[in-house]
Amino acid sequence: MQEKEQIIAGDYLVVKALENGVTIIGLTRGKDTRFHHSEKLDKGEVMVVQFTEHTSAMKIRGKATVYTKHGEVEAGS
């Protein structure tokens, strides 16, 4: 795979909100890490997110279950 294809085929996370107002914030790649996108979820909503050439990290605020290929993580517990 070429480098760009590897980034576009980055890992996925599934975030399930356990309360209203859970925020998912995407952080940029590069020399300066910055916020570039945010989403709000209400209780029971699920969002599938992916690491890309622009997104190197994600911050989750509020009570949520985060599902990864490595297992589950509870946020905001």
Task: Kindly give the confidence (pLDDT) of every residue in the chain, 77 residues in length, as a single tens digit, with 9 standing for 90 and above.
Answer: 455 555 456 788 999 999 999 999 988 877 777 878 899 999 999 999 988 877 888 899 999 999 999 999 999 97
Instruction: Say what the pLDDT of residue 70 is.
Output: 92
pTM: 0.79
Nearest to 46 by CA among 7, 71, 69, 13: 13
In angstroms, the Cα distances linking 41 to 15, 30, 33, 46, 64 are 9, 27, 23, 7, 10
Instruction: Say what the pLDDT of residue 16 is.
Output: 98
